[in-house]
Structure 1
Amino acid sequence: MSGVAWRKRWRVPERYRTRSTARPEGGGRTAGWDAPAPIRQWPLLVVLATTLAGLLLTLADFRVGLLVVGCGLLAGAALRAWLPAVGMLAVRSRFTDIVTYGLLGTVVVLLTLMAEPSPWLEVPFLNDILRFSVD
């Protein structure tokens, strides 16, 4: 069977084809076409650079490094909330992005503050839950 005949035979019907994909709200460029790519995507690069710096800091001090990673995610939530266009930092709807970045950043920061040994933050009911589940 030739390639042309095969393509005609297995063509997807028109009603099932995607005509266009909606861009996320705020997914536009933060700078014009004439600006270099890093300048157009600066919000994403800020979050990625902060996260990378935090991961490198974990080599020296575990808690400080993870606090920087959590703060990077919280900064992503703040940028997504306040800027009208954030480029590739916009993945889903604005609300979903803010909740996702904010929740993940908060969880990372809280778990880092509660890490053993000698936690910086103690939450009494979590100790009770842990003791109840282990016993």
Structure 2
Amino acid sequence: MSEAKSPEAGPGGTPETPRAKGAVSAPGPDGRPRKVSRRFPLFTRDTARPEGGGRAAAGNAPAPARQWPLLSVVSLVGLGLLLTALDVFRVGTLLIGVALIGGAVLRWALPDVGMLAVRSRFTDMVTYGALGLAIALLAMMAQPRPWLEIPFLDDTLHYTI
């Protein structure tokens, strides 16, 4: 009796690997996909850009001009780090906090901020704003001779130690 071939069988009676739309799996020893899986596609085709992640300037502008919001925040943070390294600690760290708060304001005010957009607009604003505020407050509370004194934090420190 001859062996019945299924409609999916390829030449020589070996089953053909079914191909799903856009799905590719790990290749077998012969170089062909072993099974169809949509879990780990080879090419990502549907990842959305973050809201507001478009260019901040026209497409024909040079690359630095298209990313001016990110470059302004990174430049201020770099200047703050340089001042901190040159022993102007309070002013340097305050500048870093102000730069992050400025990033939150840019993210809120501009429709497109280029690569400054990492997550959703709300998440970026909360993250940049909270980190910037925390860094600025800690810079103003740094010892000796703090510019800002918050009594309940001082009492909390004394009670915990």
Same fold (TM over 0.5): yes
- Unmatched segments (≥5 aa) in structure 2: 1-26
User: Which fold has the larger relative contact order, with Cα–Cα distance below 8 Å and residues 6 or more apart in sequence?
Assistant: 1
SS of match in other structure, 1:73: helix
Identity %: 60
Match of 1:26 in 2: 52
- CA offsets per residue over residues 59-118 of structure 1, 9 Å max, x none? 141100111111100100000000000000000000000000000000000001111111
Write out the 4+ residue segments of structure 1 that deviate beyond 3 Å after TM superposition: 14-19
Larger radius of gyration: 2
Question: Which aligned pairs between 1:5-44 and structure 2 lie closer than 5 A?
Answer: 5-9=30-34, 13-14=37-38, 17=41, 18-44=44-70
Aligned letter for 2:65?
Answer: I
Cα RMSD (Å) of the superposition? Answer: 1.9
Change (3 A) 1:57 1:5: same
Determine the C-alpha separation between the residues in 1 that align with 2:75 and 2:39.
Answer: 43
Normalising by the residue count of structure 2, what TM-score does the alignment of the two structures yield? 0.76
Please state which structure has a larger fraction of its residues in helix.
Answer: 1
- Unmatched segments (≥5 aa) in structure 1: none
Determine the C-alpha separation between the residues in 2 that align with 1:4 and 1:40.
Answer: 47
Match of 2:75 in 1: 49
Task: Give the deviation of 1:34 after TM superposition.
Answer: 1.2
Normalising by the residue count of structure 1, what TM-score does the alignment of the two structures yield? 0.90
